[in-house]
Amino acid sequence: MTNGSSVTRADLRKKRRFSRLEQGYMGFFLILPWLIGFCIFKLYPFISSLVYSFTDYDLFKGAQNFVGLENYISAFTKSKNVKALQVTFAYAFMTVPLKLIFALFIAYILNFKIRGVGLFRTAYYVPSILGGSVAIAVLWKALFKNDGVINTILAMLGFESINFLADKNWALFIICLLRVWQFGSAMVLFLAALKGVPEDLYEAASIDGATKSRQFLSITIPLISPVIFYNLVTQLVQAFQEFNGPYIITNGGPRNATTLISLIVYNSAFKDYKVGMSSAMAWVMFVITTVFTIIAFASQKKWVYYSDDDGRG
Amino acid sequence: MSKVSIIFLVLSIVLLALGFYGGSVQVPETAEAAQPSALAMHFSQYENLYLILGGLILFIVLYFTIHKNVGLRTQHVMSTTIRYVILIGVGVFMVYPLLWMVSATFKNNNEIFSTLSLIPKQPTLEGYRLAMTNYGGDINIWSAMLNTYKYVIPKVVFTVISSTITAYGFGRFRFRGRNVLFALLMATLFLPQVVLNIPQFLMYRKFGWVDSPLYLAMIVPTLFAQETYFVYMLIQFMRNIPRELDEAAKIDGCNIMQTLVLVLVPMLWPAMVSAGLFQFMWSSNDFMGPLLYVNSPARYPATLFVRMSMDADTGFAWNRVMAVSLISIAPSLVVFFLAQSQFMDGVTAGAVKG
């Protein structure tokens, strides 16, 4: 009985596979432009930057000699590069959690029945739509420069003015603040996810005597964990790549306090013309980003909860 | 009152007391007079910090104590009030810089940093007048804006078309190697652009695309659906369109492209609009692309022009810099306010499912 039915099922599966293959070539034809583009604009540059990273390729002379691991050794020994690694880690570990916590907190408040949700949501979202632009970086400079707006406020409150952008302890924090200020897109995602949590779960929990914070930890967090995960990964990848803010506002200074890896990659290729060194730094960054992405994906099983009926193919 | 709240109450009182003590310390003007002790100097310097911290903790303790001991109705009113206070407080933090920017464009340079007021005392259009004038090169704000949209618009159109076709291929067809290719597509979502920049630059230089008057280096890749995020977003959207529609179209005699254009595109349209809007924003704000691929000032887009005007004017004509900056983001702002809901839908479409 069981044997017979499994044979028929296998036959059916075979048949279905054939009918899929019929339209198969069409599908391949449709994605062919992407595949060609992928090979030219992604795969080839990806591999060649790995190759360059083992050479002393010069932007203008072009000559390349194999130099082995020299570029990588300098990436981890030259004080400027080591400093950039530290600064990049500090940047990522300061901005990502702050941004996510802030976004979740505000989304949580907005999810109560609040009048004017639309207005607040828009107000919070505008910075993240414009945040990456040069204009906003210029604005940030005007806010935090020595005689800028923030120092005017501090003076009114009776504090002494702080030269934010020239102080090596403050400068990185100000650059981080620009990114945290753009928490809007993460917040919109959290808000949509919170709206998707069924109310009756909260009702059942409060009948059982669960407090608000208990409900938040045991119902809300698990149910929106896929979105937390998505935000975590995308924010992490973006944070490691940040370029515009530090490049425009502080240009890596004071004393390399805001020189992220991306600035080193840019400067060594286009100021020092050392393509090899630049590629090595880019690859160091790529490996770091990948390791964190893999850690995030591997930890997914432990804390991300996917319901079965969300129609994922 | 619980033990915890008593501890915090005491803490807040101590902090407040230290703050008031700091306020009462007399710091002599001359160096010869007897200086207060280092500790007293410290409290005098950070007086405000202690007062703010102490006040905040006192407020929180009182809030929770009262909250616990009143009726449900009052509790509700209190919570709602607190929520609005937080929302408005954060809102000020979010919006004030932008409003300040707008008002700064109407101030004269002496006033910009001397007051916090958003209303200019002596409104002037000097900033805008200066923003319109040339810096002496062959570029001004209007030609820079024009240059921006010379590549933004083709990028938007090509991205939407090529991404939709690619999403259609991945979302609706099974073919040999589909799963491997799909995995590659998803992997590029996490591939940092920084790794690709330099080889891409060298390649485009060889092709003669760097500093091309047609901005080829920025436009051509979009013909090949290389902005993976949009492909992914459209695939997610397509999953929610029932396959029965495709099949019905097939039975009615539609070929594959007719099915796409006549059946799927009308259903996908909102997602395509979102993709287009995001591409519009991101390309108009893009700085790295023009920085690498545009060299001649005559071809500078707005982003590079703003940077240039900042370097030229920092220290004196801030109203001019602010006016230039505001003009450069004005189209993006207008588009955002006209199409807000599409933006919100677009953000959520890509992520919530899957």
Cβ separation B188–A42 shorter than 8 A: yes
Contacts of B222 in chain A (CB under 8 A): none
Contacts of A237 in chain B (CB under 8 A): 190, 192
Cα torsion B288, B292, B296, B301 to 10°: value is -20
Looking at residues B161-168, what average pLDDT do you find?
95
Q: Comparing A136-140, B25-29, B86-90, which segment has the lowest mean pLDDT?
A: B25-29
Cβ separation B190–A310 shorter than 8 A: no
Residue of B190, B191, B320 for testing the chain A interface, max A β-carbons within 10 Å: B190
Cβ separation B199–A49 shorter than 8 A: yes
Contacts of B115 in chain A (CB under 8 A): 152
Domains of chain A: 78-303 (1.10.3720.10)
The whole-number pLDDT of residue B352 equals 43
The whole-number pLDDT of residue A8 equals 59
Under the phi-then-psi rule, with left for phi > 0, alpha for psi from -120 to 50, and beta for the rest, what region is A68? left
Contacts of A261 in chain B (CB under 8 A): 194
Residue B218 token pair = 């920025």
Q: Does any CB of chain A come closer than 8 Å to the CB of residue B253? A: no
Residue of chain B whose Cα is closest to the Cα of A250: B311
- Closest partner CB to B303 (pick from A134, A148, A261): A134
- Closest partner CB to A243 (pick from B224, B284, B288): B288
Whole-angstrom Cα Rg for chain B: 29
The whole-number pLDDT of residue A59 equals 85
Could you report the per-residue pLDDT of B180-201, keeping only the tens digit for each? 999 999 999 888 888 999 999 9
Cβ separation A114–B307 shorter than 8 A: no
pTM listed for this prediction:
0.85
CA distance B349 to B233: 6
Label residue B317 by pLDDT band (50, 70, 90): confident
- Closest partner CB to B328 (pick from A45, A109, A135): A135
* Shortest Cα distance, chain B CAs vs residue A76, angstroms: 18
Contacts of B210 in chain A (CB under 8 A): none
* CA-based end-to-end distance of chain A: 31
Residue B231 token pair = 């492909």
ipTM confidence: 0.84
CA distance A189 to A125: 11
Residue B213 has pLDDT above 70, yes or no: yes
Q: Does any CB of chain A come closer than 8 Å to the CB of residue B295? A: no
Residue of chain B whose Cα is closest to the Cα of A119: B91
Could you report the per-residue pLDDT of A153-179, keeping only the tens digit for each? 888 777 778 888 888 889 999 999 999
Cβ separation B169–A112 shorter than 8 A: no
Label residue A11 by pLDDT band (50, 70, 90): low
Residue A205 has pLDDT above 50, yes or no: yes
Residue of B161, B201, B224, B305 for testing the chain A interface, max A β-carbons within 10 Å: B224
CA distance B275 to B90: 29
- Closest partner CB to A132 (pick from B83, B285, B352): B285
Cβ separation B194–A29 shorter than 8 A: no
Label residue A10 by pLDDT band (50, 70, 90): low
Could you report the per-residue pLDDT of B102-117, keeping only the tens digit for each? 999 998 888 888 777 8
Which one is predicted more confidently, B45 or B61?
A: B61
Residue of A21, A26, A29, A42 for testing the chain B interface, max B β-carbons within 10 Å: A42
Q: Does any CB of chain A come closer than 8 Å to the CB of residue B44? A: no
Looking at residues A59-77, what average pLDDT do you find?
86
Residue B39 has pLDDT above 90, yes or no: no
Residue A192 has pLDDT above 90, yes or no: no
Label residue B33 by pLDDT band (50, 70, 90): low
Q: Comparing A110-114, A227-231, A304-308, B39-43, which segment has the lowest mean pLDDT?
A: A304-308
Q: Does any CB of chain A come closer than 8 Å to the CB of residue B238? A: no
Contacts of B168 in chain A (CB under 8 A): 30
Residue A1 has pLDDT above 50, yes or no: no
Q: Does any CB of chain A come closer than 8 Å to the CB of residue B326? A: yes
CA distance B3 to B306: 57
Contacts of B177 (CB under 8 A, 6+ apart): A28
Q: Where are the alpha helices (DSSP H) in chain B?
A: 3-24, 38-45, 47-68, 72-104, 126-132, 141-172, 178-189, 193-207, 216-223, 228-239, 243-251, 256-258, 265-285, 288-293, 302-313, 318-338, 340-351
Taking the CA of residue A278 as centre, how many other CA atoms within 13 Å lie in the half-sphere pointing to its CB?
A: 26
Could you report the per-residue pLDDT of A74-105, keeping only the tens digit for each? 989 998 999 999 999 999 999 999 999 999 99
Question: If you search the block for the tokens 């940093």, which residue do you land on?
Answer: B113
Q: What is the mean pLDDT of chain A?
A: 85
* Shortest Cα distance, chain B CAs vs residue A4, angstroms: 28
The whole-number pLDDT of residue A16 equals 52
Whether the CB-CB separation of A219 and A202 falls below 8 Å is answered with yes
CA distance A304 to A284: 29
Cβ separation A138–B98 shorter than 8 A: no
Residue of B53, B77, B94, B234 for testing the chain A interface, max A β-carbons within 10 Å: B94
Residue A17 has pLDDT above 60, yes or no: no
The whole-number pLDDT of residue A310 equals 46
Residue A24 has pLDDT above 70, yes or no: no
Which one is predicted more confidently, A311 or A246?
A: A246
CA distance B282 to B191: 18
Which neighbouring-strand residues pair with A55? A66
